[in-house]
Structure 1
Amino acid sequence: LALFALAVGGKALGAYLGARLAGRQPHWPATAFGAGLNARGGTDIIIATVGLTLGLISGPLYSVVVVQAMLASLLSPTALRWALRRVTPSSEELARLEAERQSARSLVGSLARVLVPIRPPSPTVGDAAPTIAATRAMEIGLLSSLSRRRSFQTTLFSVAAPGARAAAERYLGEVSATFSPLKPAAKVVEHRHPPEAVIAESQRNYDLMLLGAHVEPDHPDAVFDPVVDDLIRLATCPTLVVRGKPAGQTMSWPPERILVRANGTRAARHAAEVAFALAGEASEVILLHVVVPRHDSYYLDVADRYVERHLRIGHEIVGALAEIGRGAGVSVDHEVRVGRSEDAVILEVAQTRHVDVLVLGTHLRPASERLYLGARVERLLRDAACAVMVVNAP
C-alpha cells in the first residue's frame, strides 16, 4: 500500500505542479492532468519485467510493481472523470468544441474524396460542346473553391465501351490537364452500362459526386438528362449537380453574387455551405427565406399571426446561416420576404439582384424510376436565367 500510494501520489503531484507552474493551469485542469497521467501500467510492467529478467529485483517486488501498475491504470479513468466534471471550459475551448460540432455536421467540412464522372467524347455532342466546356469550367472552379476550405482527393472517372479503353484514357488525360491545379487521380473502366459502373465506383467511400449537366435536358421527362438523373437517384453518396448559364451568357469566376434558398432544412444548410465555399473576396452570398401566407378558410382567423410567426422563424433561419458564413470570412446578406409563390420570389430576386449562381439544397422524393426533386426545385431549374447548383445529400 505504501508503494502504491507513493507511486500514484508522486505521479499525480508531479503532473499537478507541472501544470500549475509551467502550464499556468487552474486547480481542476491541473488535477485532471495528474489523474490522466497516472494510467502508465504498461510502461511500469515492461520495466519491472526487464529488471526481473536481469536479476535486479526480486519476485515479490515484481508482483508488487505489477499490482500497483494495474490498480493505478484502473483508478485513472474514474479519477479523470471526477476531475473533468469540475473543469469549467474556457471560451477558446467552447469555440473549438462548437467548430468541431459544426464540422461534423458539415458536407464541405467532411470532404475527403470527390468523384467526378467524365463522359467520353461523342460525335453527337455538336452544338453542345461550348455548354459542356462552360460547365466543366464551373466544375473546376467549384472544386478549386472547395479545396481552399478543405484538402481532399479528386478522382476523374470515365467509362469506356468494351474495346475503347485506349481512346478513353487519352481523352481523360486531356481532361485531367484542365484539372491540373487539383492534381486529380484518373481512372478508366470498360463497361456496357456507364451509370452502373459510376454507381459501383461511388460506393467506394466517396463523400461527394460532382456532376455536370446541360442547360436543356436531352429528354422531355428528364430533370437534367437521363444519365445524370439516374446517377443522382441511385447514388449512395451526396451529389452536387452543376448546370451552367444558358447558351451565349458568360460568367466570371468566382461568382460575384450567389443566391441560396434558405428554408430551414438540412439540405438548405448544405447549400449554404457550398455557397460560402464558392465565394471569393469580392463575392456576396444572399440568403433568402420566403414566407407563403395561408389563404384557406381554416387559417383566416389566424392569418396575421401565421405570417408574423413564420417571419420570425425565417429571420432566425437566415440569421443562423449568416453567422456561419461571416465566421468563414464571407460577405453575407439575408432577406425574408412574403409572397404567394416561393419559386416566383426566388426567380424575382435572382433577376433583380443579378445573381450569377443559384444554389439549391434538396432531397430525393420517391417517384417510381424518374428523378423527382420537388415541383419548386424543378421549376427553378427550368426558369432560372442564371447558373444553378443542386446539392442532394441522402
Structure 2
Amino acid sequence: MHQPAVIEPLTEHALLILFVQLFLLLLTARGLGEIAQQVTLPAVVGELLAGIVLGPSFFGALAPNLFTMIFPQLAGPYHLIEVVSWFGLLMLLVVTGFETDLELIASRARSAVLVSAAGIVIPFVTGFGLGYVLPATFLAADGQRFVFSLFIAVAMSISAIPVIAKVLLDIGAIHRDIGQITIAAGMIDDTIGWILLSIVAALAKAGTAGNAVAALGATGETILWLFVFLLLAFTLGRRLAESVIRWVDSAIGGQAGKITTLMVLALGVGSITQYIGVEAVLGAFVVGLLIGQVNRFDQSTRNTFETMTLSVFAPIFFAMAGLRVDLTTLTDPVLFGAGLIVLGVATVGKFGGAFIGARAAGLSRWEGIAMGAGMNARGAIEIIVATIGLSIGVLSIQMYSIIVMVALVTSLTAPPLLRKTLAKTDLSAAESERLERRTSEQRRFLGTIDRVLLPTRCGVNSLIAAQLLGHVVRERDIDVTCLYVDRDRAVNGERDRTLRQRAMNALSTVKRRLRRMDRRRDSIPYELQENDSASDCLQTIDEQLALSDGPARLMTRTVTTSVSDLVLSEAEDRYDLLVLGMSNPAQAADRSLLGGELDRILRVTPCPILAVSSNTVSNDGSVADLSVRRILLPTIGTQYSRHAAEVAFAIGADRNAVVEIMHVVTPPQPEETLIEPNLSEAVDIGEAIVDREAKLGQQMGVEVLTHVSVGDRPERDILTRATKTETDVIVMGCEIRPTSRRAFLGPRVEHVIENASCPVAVVSSV
C-alpha cells in the first residue's frame, strides 16, 4: 500500500531567518512610526520608511552581504514573511471597514458625491492617459498596456481614509462640516476604488490567457459574481453578521470570542471573493464594514482588535511593502523623471478633481483647497493597490517603487496643507451650534455609558426597571446585559445559557410573545409565575426592555458565594451602569432598603447605579406595561441631580412625556437665625437651577415644566406634587454614603421611595 510522503517541517535555520526578519521589521516599523507621530506625521509614514531603510535602498546598499543573509532573495523565505504581511493586510482592511460609516455618507450625500465623483473621474482619466504614454519599460509584461493603464488610473483615483481620518483627528477637525464631507467623500472613493480594483485585477488575471474573448467573458462573469456578492453582503450578510456576533456574545462572551469570530468571517468571506476572481481584501473590507455596524461588537472589543492590528500586523505589512522599494533605481534620470511626472499627475488630478467637486457643491475656495489637500493623501490604501498590482504581475518593480513614493510624498504633504487651509475656513453659526451641542452631548452622563448590567430574578421591581431602562437606551448605542442570578441549581462555577436550553424554551417563548401582544391590546397585567425558568425570566426581561436594535445579551450565573459578590464581580467587567430593582422595605426581613446583599452592592459597586422601586404593583407579583405620560424630577442642582435629569429626559423623549422639574426651597429653622429670613434670594437660586435643567431637557427634545416651592419638608412636597399632577414616575439623584450596616440614600430620598404611589427611579453617580 502506497504511503503518502511526509512533508518535512521548516528547518531551524528557516525559522531563525523568519523570526529575525519579523523582529527587525516590527522593531524598526514601530520605532520609526513613533518618531513620525512625534513630528506630527502619520505613523504609516515611519512604518513605510522602515521597509525602505531595511530594504535594498539603504541596508542592502550599505551591507549587501548581511542584507542577503537576513533577507535572502529566494522565493521560499520571501513567501513566508509575505504570508504574515498579507494577514496584516486583511486585518487592516477590516479596520478600514470599521471606519466606513454608511449613515455619514448618506447624511452628506450631495456634497460628498460631488467631491468624490470629480475626485475619481478626473484622476482616473489623467491616470489612464498617463499609463498609455509611459515607456514600455514600466510594463511588467508585453501586451498589457490596457490593463496597466487601468491599474494606474485606479491607483491615481483612490484616497486613504485612515490617513485622512488620522490627520483630521489630530487637528481636531473631524467633526467639522468640512471634515465630515472629506471623510464621507473618502469613504465613497475607497468603496468605489476597491470595486474598480477588483474588476481590473480580474481583467488582468483573465487576460493572461491571451484570448481576448475569453478574457472579456471571464471579466464579465467576475463582475456578475461581484454584483451578487455585494447584493447578498448588504442584505442577508448584514443580518447574518449581527446574528452571529449576538450568538457568540451570548453563548461565549468576552472579547476573545468576538475577535476570533471576526477573523473567521474575514478569512472565510475573503476566500469567497478570492475564489470568484476578486481580491480577498474586498471580502475583509466588507466584513469590517458589516461588523462595524453591529452594536454588540462593542467599542472596547473594536479598540482591542484595532490596537492589535495597528501595533503589530499592519506595521509588518507596511514595512514589508517598503522592503520591496529600491530607491536606488530612481537615480536613473529616466526613472526619476517618470516618478516626478507620476507624482505631478497624481497630485494635480486628485487635488484638482476634489477642488472642482467641492466648488460644485457650494463650498468656499479655502474649503475646496482643504478638500483637495485631504483627498490627495494616499498612504496605506495606495500601498495596498501597488502590492496587489505587483502580486498579479501588472506592475514592474520600478513602477511599484514609484507608486510607493507617491504614497509617501502625498501622506507627508497632507497634514501641513490641511492645517493651514482649515485655519482659513470660518465656522458658520449652524456649524458652531452643532459642534457645541456635540461637545455637550459627549460630556453628558449618558454619553459615557456604553454597557449596562441588569441583574434580575424577575421580581416586579426588576421588570419595571427593565421598562425604564429600555426607554433610556433605545435610541442610544448602549449594550445591555441581563443577568439571571441562579440560586437554585447545585452547579459549581458560572455558565451561560446553552443552545439546549434555548431549544427547550423556544415554544414557550413564542407563546409568551403572543400573550404579550394580547396583553398590550387588552391591557391585561402579566403575572410572572414562581416556577418560571431562567430562560423564561430572561426572555421576559428582554421583552420589557423592548430594544429597537434586537435582543439584549442574556446570561445566567450560578451563585457560589453570595449574590453581592457575583453581581460585583460581573459589574467590574467594564460595565458603565448597574440597574437594580429595589426590595420592598415593608416586606424585607432585614428592613433595609434593598435587602442585605443588594445594599452591599449599592455601597461598593464600581459604577453608577439606577435603582428602581415599582411601588404600584400588587402583592401577587403582577405588573403591566408602565404608562409614562408625566415625570417628576426633583433637583437641587448638584452633579448627581444633573445625571438624574438626563435619565428623566431620556425616558421623556422616548415616551413623549412631560417632565416637570421641581426644586424645594427649605427655609432656615427659627433657632438657626435671629432675624426674619428673606427667601427671595433662595427662590431666585431655585429658579436658576430649574431653568438650567430645563435648557438641557429642551436640547434633548422634551416638553419641560418647572416648579419652585418653599417648604420645611421637601420629601412631603415632592409626594404631594406627584399626587396632584398624577405623576407616573419620579426620578431622583442621590449620592451614596456608606454606613456600618446599609446603603444610606438620605432620609428624604428614602421617604419618597417608601411612600410614593408611583415608581421611583434613583440615580446614584457619585
**TM-score, length-normalised on structure 1?**
0.79
- In the TM superposition, residue 344 of structure 1 has moved relative to its aligned partner by 3.6
Q: Give CA-to-partner distance per residue, 1:120-161, whole Å, 9 cap, x none.
A: 8xxxxxxxxxxx43x244123213323432253332331435
Q: Check whether the contact 1:11–1:34 (CA below 8 A) recurs between aligned residues.
A: yes
| Structure 1 residues 188-203: aligned runs within 5 Å | 188-203=557-572
Q: Check whether the contact 1:288–1:318 (CA below 8 A) recurs between aligned residues.
A: yes
Q: Check whether the contact 1:161–1:191 (CA below 8 A) recurs between aligned residues.
A: no
Which stretch has the larger CA shift, 186-195 or 106-115?
106-115
Which stretch has the larger CA shift, 81-90 or 248-257?
248-257
Structure 2 residue 422 is matched with structure 1 residue 84:
yes
Distance 1:106 1:239 in 2: 16
Q: Check whether the contact 1:295–1:303 (CA below 8 A) recurs between aligned residues.
A: no
Report the residue type matching 1:290 in the other structure: V
Match of 1:115 in 2: 453
Distance 1:45 1:141 in 2: 51
- In the TM superposition, residue 98 of structure 1 has moved relative to its aligned partner by 3.5
Match of 1:129 in 2: none
- In the TM superposition, residue 389 of structure 1 has moved relative to its aligned partner by 0.9
| Structure 1 residues 126-205: aligned runs within 5 Å | 132-133=459-460, 135-151=461-477, 152-160=479-487, 163=490, 171-181=533-543, 182=546, 183-184=551-552, 185-205=554-574
Report the residue type matching 2:353 in the other structure: G
Structure 2 residue 412 is matched with structure 1 residue 74:
yes
Q: Give CA-to-partner distance per residue, 1:187-242, whole Å, 9 cap, x none.
A: 22341212101111111222322111123252556232212211111211221111
Distance 2:673 2:359 in 1: 64
Structure 2 residue 359 is matched with structure 1 residue 20:
yes
Equivalent position SS for 1:149: coil
| Structure 1 residues 170-249: aligned runs within 5 Å | 171-181=533-543, 182=546, 183-184=551-552, 185-216=554-585, 218=588, 222-245=592-615
Q: Check whether the contact 1:20–1:26 (CA below 8 A) recurs between aligned residues.
A: yes
Q: Check whether the contact 1:115–1:157 (CA below 8 A) recurs between aligned residues.
A: no
Q: Check whether the contact 1:254–1:283 (CA below 8 A) recurs between aligned residues.
A: no
- In the TM superposition, residue 24 of structure 1 has moved relative to its aligned partner by 1.6
- In the TM superposition, residue 365 of structure 1 has moved relative to its aligned partner by 2.0
Match of 2:739 in 1: 367
Structure 2 residue 720 is matched with structure 1 residue 352:
no
CA separation of 1:282 and 1:55: change in aligned 2, threshold 3 A? closer
Structure 2 residue 387 is matched with structure 1 residue 37:
no
Distance 2:683 2:739 in 1: 32
Q: Give CA-to-partner distance per residue, 1:280-329, whole Å, 9 cap, x none.
A: 6563211112233456899878954xx44443443333223223333444
More strand by share: 1
CA separation of 1:263 and 1:39: change in aligned 2, threshold 3 A? same
Equivalent position SS for 2:743: coil
- In the TM superposition, residue 20 of structure 1 has moved relative to its aligned partner by 0.8
Distance 1:58 1:228 in 2: 68
CA separation of 1:295 and 1:251: change in aligned 2, threshold 3 A? farther
Equivalent position SS for 2:481: strand
Distance 1:47 1:138 in 2: 55
- In the TM superposition, residue 113 of structure 1 has moved relative to its aligned partner by 2.8
Which stretch has the larger CA shift, 42-51 or 109-118?
42-51
Equivalent position SS for 2:593: coil
Q: Check whether the contact 2:571–2:607 (CA below 8 A) recurs between aligned residues.
A: yes
Distance 1:97 1:256 in 2: 32
| Structure 1 residues 220-369: aligned runs within 5 Å | 222-245=592-615, 253-279=626-652, 281=655, 283-294=657-668, 304=678, 307-368=679-740
Match of 1:105 in 2: 443
Equivalent position SS for 2:416: helix
- In the TM superposition, residue 109 of structure 1 has moved relative to its aligned partner by 4.5
| Structure 1 residues 40-51: aligned runs within 5 Å | 40-43=378-381
CA separation of 1:99 and 1:171: change in aligned 2, threshold 3 A? farther
CA separation of 1:275 and 1:46: change in aligned 2, threshold 3 A? closer
**TM-score, length-normalised on structure 2?**
0.44
Q: Check whether the contact 2:386–2:395 (CA below 8 A) recurs between aligned residues.
A: no
Distance 1:89 1:24 in 2: 15
Q: Check whether the contact 2:465–2:611 (CA below 8 A) recurs between aligned residues.
A: no
Identity percentage of aligned residues: 32
CA separation of 1:189 and 1:109: change in aligned 2, threshold 3 A? same
What is the alpha-carbon root mean square deviation over aligned residues? 3.7
CA separation of 1:81 and 1:336: change in aligned 2, threshold 3 A? farther
Report the residue type matching 1:31 in the other structure: I
Distance 2:755 2:662 in 1: 18
Q: How many residues align?
A: 377
| Structure whose alpha-carbon radius of gyration is higher | 2
Distance 1:149 1:52 in 2: 47
Equivalent position SS for 2:744: coil
- In the TM superposition, residue 35 of structure 1 has moved relative to its aligned partner by 2.0
- In the TM superposition, residue 393 of structure 1 has moved relative to its aligned partner by 1.9
Match of 2:312 in 1: none
CA separation of 1:246 and 1:57: change in aligned 2, threshold 3 A? closer
CA separation of 1:34 and 1:312: change in aligned 2, threshold 3 A? farther
Match of 1:126 in 2: none
Equivalent position SS for 1:358: strand
Distance 1:112 1:73 in 2: 34
Report the residue type matching 1:273 in the other structure: E
- In the TM superposition, residue 72 of structure 1 has moved relative to its aligned partner by 3.2
Report the residue type matching 2:377 in the other structure: A
Report the residue type matching 1:90 in the other structure: S
Unaligned ranges ≥5, structure 2 = 1-336, 502-531
Report the residue type matching 2:719 in the other structure: L
Which stretch has the larger CA shift, 200-209 or 275-284?
275-284
Q: Check whether the contact 1:141–1:254 (CA below 8 A) recurs between aligned residues.
A: no
